[in-house]
Structure 1
């Protein structure tokens, strides 16, 4: 079988590609710039832009399943081309579709779920473990993580597990018409995460608590748009129960426990080490 993966060079899309290849599927990757796509050589890379359906002619031909993202353009703006994308997929005979949900309805997700010809599965991850990579510069340069709301809890999920669940839904029957809330296997404090990074890099990391005002000032100084700043204050200051409760879905769907944050930290330890830092 051949599966089309949109957003194939992104944080989750690249993991969907990896997991599909591991399951023996052929993969076609959609990207705006094939020349910049760093993907395995066995992946068929095609040019296309989900914000412009005119560029998608033929990209759905010959595929049995499609992994779709719901955003495109600047600052992850929701795609407004859902009906056109769904129509192209249906005409090409696509059978299975997974949708990477950002936590709420979007025009594309609505169009997929309204389809009568697609066997769809919505994949809804909570906080990505990869978000912790944003701390890497501060850890490398000052041995610090600077964050507000340090008592917040998170059941954050490994990106590889998101890809694994999507790959199962795209290659096996029995998952159509379902929405999967994906979490990691444990609930973590911010201190837990910082300690895991310190252990992985072999050097202590200080957790510095910012006030809400200090955090907002830093985020704005780093160029975050205002709606993103407001979103971060909301989810960090009052994390929804779904984001801090283990769902168990990864193990149920894949047949193995979800990856831990300590594992993620070991995989990315070098990103948090200062130049010349050895492992003690």
Structure 2
């Protein structure tokens, strides 16, 4: 896998030679950042793993999702309303839409959000297509048409798009005329993202805060976009962040947000991205 060879400096003192063939196994990397810790999972395009979605009737933490789905890895995904536990993002699993933000009455009837509903209902989503016998991934706006001769297998909405450019204003997260910034775009926070490389590999990232600096650590959206680009992503989008930022890998759950005492916040979420054997 091309992206694996240049993403990060090897932890060993021995520099590996160029691989004769692309990597086929997923790879986990932990990387120290100036204000946080990046947990990175690389899923090569030709690996025996697939990235799909899951939605829970009630909110669950990533460990509970792991028990149910027996996935190799799990990352938190779409937005939701903690008050009514309903999704505020579209979710499609196995070709069937199982969550529609238009069904969330607290979202639709919120007077502060009414001016942005058209943008909210057309935010970025991570998609998995089946084009003939070939599985491909893409990031597209919800209303965007499918590629020719492809069917939509899975999709989880969130946003905004990070690459090739940040679209916070277009997707209704930021309104400079009214001082709206729903995600604290320029502020450090725990955040989660998904990216796709030019060869079709998937990069999942969760940036955790530093327990010693819960009020001023993590990563901004602008920095997150740059990180995804550095990791080799040509397309990328933001997932739900803050207290929702969490992942599960090889029997261990990692949470990204910390309270003032330096304890991680174990917040249950509504939807996740699963990494599972094909």
- Which has the greater radius of gyration? 1
Instruction: Pick the structure with more strand per residue.
Output: 2
TM-score normalised according to structure 2 size: 0.25
- Which structure is higher in RCO with an 8 Å CA cutoff and minimum separation 6? 2
